[in-house]
Structure 1
Amino acid sequence: MGKDKQFSWRNWGLILELIVGGSIFFWAISRPQSNPPKITPVMTLQKSPSALSAEVELTQIAIHATPTPLPSPTAWAIATATTEIDVTPRIIYTTNPFTGLQLSDTELLERKPLLVKLLNWPRSVRPFSQINQADVVFEYYTGGQTNQLLALFYSQAADSVGPLGPGRLVDARLTQHYKADLVVSTVDTMVRGVFENSLAERVFYQGFTDCPGICTQPVDQGGLTYANTTAIRNIAETDRLQSGTPQFKVLPFSVTINKWDDVATRFSYLYADFSVMDWRYSSETGRYHLWQEVEEEDGNLQLEPSYDSDGSPVAFENLIFIMANYIEYNTSTYDINLREGDPNQLAILLRDGKLTYGTWFSETATDPFSFYVEGKPYTLKPGRSWITISSTISRPERVAEGEWDLVFKLR
């Protein structure tokens, strides 16, 4: 009885605690909240009901996006360098790059130019033989108030061009500029050394090249030496190391001239009063005709027209005088600094009886000369060109209307 009574009181106590605890709980949850708990929002990829700019929206998506695992430390693949493409224009020529004239036989353009050294002194070696078949002729001072010539044959053949002259230092430079082979009579020790170092397999000498390549007349016929360009080319193809066919850019040509500085129907180039290259323009032929001094029986000098050995007048469509630095080793040995890469070298350009002041330029030691007026290419007249290398201190002088003198000065 006593134990049952004790158990009942304990049960009633437990029931009372449950009733009081429940009452407190219901009172707590039903009481108004003056400070509601803060809830950190969770950003999802759903669009916000408020308007966001596209930039802000993308930024927030990026911030809360699942991080991308970092890549493993594998080295980046290195792309192979792209092969550079040569965009230099490649012209399939039907035009002679040196004369601007059309060629019916394009195979002529698949060969190297041939430079042949010509004598102009003493007067007894004149006239020239087949010089009119050259595409370009170079003239320069060689000492003693005299000159020599270097004729470039490209589109035409000559079976007896001459009289053949000795090699000079500047011949090596011009041969390199025009990617040519060279024909000379003889050379001195200095020049031979230069030729052997810079023109290996490209020079043909008298006495070392059999006739019909290089032939010398009997003494009773003058004893002069002449070259056959076709025979020389055949020897080059069969006996010499070939370096491939050079390609040349066609110089700008035009049948008309629209701008010039002065009239020049006569232009005299004087090494001395006894050594004159006098050019006179003919409106009938459209060319400048060469006159040279001739000694009369009484010893007086008279200017007379120069003729090729076939009787045709020596005449060219373009006359070009370029100013360059002569280097004097002695009174008969000269070199010329052609200053490759210098676009500001002076030139006098003549065609159609018109004179134009310009500049000349060669980009490298293996590029032909080009000509400019006020920075723009000068347009040559279609035809052949005679290029005289004068000195930097020589200046033209107008002596009469349309007539000019240019005296060569070395110092």
Structure 2
Amino acid sequence: MKKPLYTLILLALLMTACGMAAPAATPTPTELILPTATPPPLPQTQTPTLTPTATPSYPPEGYGPSNFPTDVDPLTGLKVTNPALLERRPLAIKVSNLPRYVRPQWGLSLADIVYEYYTEEGTTRFIALFYGQDAEMVGPIRSARFFDVNIIRGYKAAFAFGSAYVVEMNRLLNAEFANRLVLEGASSPLTRYDPNGTNDLVVNTADLSAFITQKGIENGRQNLDGMSFKLDPQAGGQAVSHIYARYSAAIYNRWDYDPTTGKYLRFSDTVDDVDNHNEQYAQLTDRLTNQPIAFDNVVVLFVTHEVYSTDSHGNKIYDILFSGLGTG
């Protein structure tokens, strides 16, 4: 019998237009805590410097949800440096988050959108969408889960991943997008990189897109209408200075708002916290760019997770229901 439970998905939008300018009246900052015990005071930590960038000229009516200009990324609402990149499919890439030695990962700071979601045994993984800019290296790439189907289908993306358990692989291979799945192989753009004896699987997004085209798969601009973007925050909102999300004793994180840059900075767990009283964090950076992981918007979605079955090791396999109405 399937057992529904409710948990959260973190959706981080790296380069969206919202939140780049302060409203006329700034509310008192608060903390958003999801779902965890009251967090300890924030420690003093040494963090990389994130350089503020100039706010681009932006129409007051914003962009979207349709009729985006040809040089505006419909996943971010911002003009791109190279509009030719928008004449292709988005690229979805599965990225590891545990064990902790996989951090910092490569390429996350260059993604348009990153989803973090629960997998099993108290862990999470990322699925990152690259569209408006390329990354020379993304990884470490890991295995797929049922949830990834929603992202591939919703964004009409090609999908690079490491493997999948048999029931999850069957769902991927039997989907209408099966020809857009990219695994490691003789002619694959996915390669091994072994700087510290970890034998990581990585990919260059430009090579990944070219590979899709070489396979004869339609790789032109897709209809990605649906999102709306405005520069000014929505009236009546409440400013949030910290967001805490706890998945388990092994995976917990927080996002700190940086008023200088208008971005949320990611801090991740550094030790297991079994009793909820010893959370310790380090700022997450990008191993490719050496820049902090910083997002203009962080969206938290509460969705139903159903136990679909168990794998050969007894781990629960979850099916995340990602359609219909819900709380965010």
Equivalence for 1:383: none
The 3 A distance-change label for structure 1 pair 218 and 312 is closer
The AA in structure 2 aligned to 1:151 is A
Does residue 1:306 correspond to 2:296, yes or no? Answer: no
Partner of 1:31: none
Structure whose alpha-carbon radius of gyration is higher: 1
Residue number among 174, 179, 185 corresponding to 1:207 in the alignment: 185
Q: CA deviation at 1:106?
A: 2.3
Match of 1:334 among 300, 318, 326: 318
Q: Does residue 126 of the first structure (1) align with residue 87 of the second (2)?
A: no
* Cα deviation 1:231-258 (Å, max 9, x = unaligned): 1111110114326531222622222214
More moved, 252-261 vs 271-280: 252-261
Distance 1:312 1:243, change over 3 A: closer
How many residues matched?
252
Describe how 1:213-228 pairs up with structure 2 within 5 A: 213-218=189-194, 221-228=197-204
Structure 2 counterpart of 1:325, one-letter code: T
Q: Distance in 2 between matches of 1:91 and 1:263?
A: 29
- Give unmatched runs, 5+ long, in structure 1: 1-87, 348-411
Whether the aligned pair in 2 keeps the contact of 1:201 and 1:240 (CA below 8 Å) is: no
**CA, structure 1 residues 255+90, in 2 after alignment: closer, same or farther (shift >3 Å)?**
closer
Q: Which residue of 2 aligns with 1:117?
A: 94
The CA deviation at 1:262 is 2.9
Conserved? CA contact 1:175–1:181, under 8 Å: yes
User: Equivalent residues in 2 for 1:32-47 (5 A)?
Assistant: none
Q: Which structure's residues are more often helix, by fraction?
A: 1
Q: For 1:241 and 1:250, how far apart are their aligned partners in 2?
A: 24
The alpha-carbon deviation at position 260 of structure 1 amounts to 3.7
Contact 1:133 / 1:158 at 8 angstroms: preserved in 2?
yes
Q: 2:245 aligns with which of 269, 274, 277?
A: 269
Offset from partner CA, 1:278-302 (integer Å, 9 cap, x none): 1110001110000011139xxx762
Structure 1 position 345 matched with structure 2 position 326 = yes
Cα gap change, 1:189 to 1:258, in 2 (>3 Å): closer
C-alpha change, 1:188 and 1:209, in structure 2 (3 Å) is: farther
Paired residue secondary structure (2:105): coil
Deviations 1:168-219 (A, max 9, x none): 1111221001100000011121122111111221100123553xx1111248
Identity %: 25
The whole-number CA distance in structure 1 between the counterparts of 2:97 and 2:246 is: 14
> How far, CA to CA, are the matches of 2:143 and 2:209 in structure 1?
20
1:322 Cα shift? Answer: 1.4
Q: Which moved more, 1:168-177 or 1:149-158?
A: 168-177
Partners of 1:286 and 1:269 in 2: how far apart? 20
Instruction: From the superposition, tell whether residues 243 and 197 of structure 1 become closer, same or farther in structure 2 (CA, over 3 Å).
Output: farther
What is the DSSP-based 3-state SS (H/G/I as helix, E as strand, rest coil) of the residue aligned with 2:76? Answer: coil
Letter matched to residue 242 of structure 1: E
Q: Partners of 2:107 and 2:220 in 1: how far apart?
A: 27
Give, as a single letter, the amino acid of the residue that structure 2 aligns with 1:100: G
Match of 1:318 in 2: 297
Contact 2:284 2:293 in 1 (8 A): yes
Write the letter of the residue equivalent to 1:278.
R
- SS of the counterpart of 1:278? strand
Name 2:258's counterpart in structure 1. Answer: 282
- The yes-or-no answer on 1:154 pairing with 2:138 is no
With CA pairs under 8 Å and 6+ residues apart, which has the higher RCO, 1 or 2?
Answer: 2
DSSP 3-state at the match of 1:328: strand
Q: Give the distance between the partners of 2:305 and 2:199, measured in 1 at CA.
A: 32
Which residue of 1 is the match for residue 33 of structure 2?
A: none
Structure 2 residues not aligned, in runs of 5+: 1-64, 273-277
- TM normalised by structure 2 equals 0.72
Q: RMSD value over aligned CA atoms?
A: 2.2
Contact 2:253 2:281 in 1 (8 A): no
Q: Distance in 2 between matches of 1:157 and 1:133?
A: 7
Query: In the superposition, relative to structure 1, how do residues 257 and 245 fare at CA in structure 2: closer, same or farther (>3 Å)?
Result: closer
Q: Secondary structure at the match of 2:153?
A: helix
